[in-house]
Amino acid sequence: MTTRDLGLVALMAAVIVALGAVPAIPLAAGVPITLQSMGVMLAALILGPRRAAAAVSVVIALVALGLPVLAGGRGGLAVFAGPTAGFLFGWVPAAFVTGFLAMVLEATEKSTLVRTAQLTLAAIVGGIVVLYVCGIPWLAFVVEIGLAKAFMASLPFVPGDLAKAIVAAVVTVKVRQAVAIERK
């Protein structure tokens, strides 16, 4: 990792934290969304697999250090044993897969619309599928409800996460038009 990478990783981790601190913003349908989980998708789509995984690891380390960095001011070791800890640790593989897919899928010569669709797909596979695969088993285990019911319990969050994936892709395309940054 170069110093440039180090700077990007640290500052993107700070962005993920900052997005947890700004009040929820109402999305198109009027449903408010917290921006923190979108921050993870954004970090992955912009930075690429390795640096994004590093950035979310930094956020997780800050949680462990007792800092209230998660949305709603949550933080500290209690989070790690909570029912949603799987979704927190799942950020690392989710960010890696999202970033990797973004790197492979995005065809820069295509139109904005096509690229947005490609990045949305990356965010859905990494930021939703991979994340839920990590989060649901832990939820099922600690709450003792079994995988099927844990899956059902997670479904209500899918529409919001889909919306975040689309917004993250749109934002990424715009950001990359403004600054050149290579994924790695």
Partner 1 sequence: MIASLARPGSSPLHRLAAAPKLAGLAITATALFFVDDPRLLATAFALGLTVARSTGAHFAEIGRDLAGAAMALAVLGLADWLLVDGATALAVVLRLGAIALLAHAVTMTTTTAELFEVLERLFGPAERLGLIDAGRAALTLTLAIRFVPLIVEEAQAIREAQAARGLDGSVLALAVPLLVRVIVRSEAVADAIDARGFPPERAATAPPRPPAIRPEIEADTP
| Gap between the Cα atoms of 134 and 19, Å rounded | 22
Cα-based angle 119, 123, 78 (whole degrees, multiple of 5):
155
Per-residue binding string, partner 1, 7-26, x by CB under 8 A, is: xxxxxxxxx-xxx-xx--xx
Binding residue for partner 1, selected from 54, 88, 102, 124, defined by CB under 8 A: 54
* List 48, 49, 52, 75, residue binding partner 1 (CB under 8 A): 75
In DSSP terms, which residues pair with 70 in a beta bridge?
Answer: 74
Binding-site member from 29, 108, 109, 144 for partner 1 (CB under 8 A) = 144
Residue pair 76/127 in contact (Cβ under 8 Å)? The answer is no
Shortest Å, Cβ 177 to partner 1 = 9
* Amino acid identity, position 94: A
Please choose, from the candidates 61, 56, 53, the residue with its C-alpha nearest in 3D space to the C-alpha of residue 96.
53
From residue 174, alpha-carbon distances to 46, 89, 112 in Å are: 11, 29, 9
Q: Is 159 in the site for partner 1 (CB under 8 A)?
A: no
Does residue 31 touch partner 1 according to CB under 8 A?
no
Candidate residues 103, 117, 133, 142; the one interacting with partner 1 per rule CB under 8 A = 142
CA 71 to CA 33: how far, in whole Å?
Answer: 11
Give me the least distance between CB of 144 and partner 1, in Å please: 5
Site of interaction with partner 1 (CB under 8 A): 1-4, 6-15, 17-19, 21-22, 25-27, 33, 35, 38, 42, 46, 54, 58-59, 61-62, 64-69, 72-84, 142-145, 149, 153, 167, 170-171, 174-175, 178-179, 181
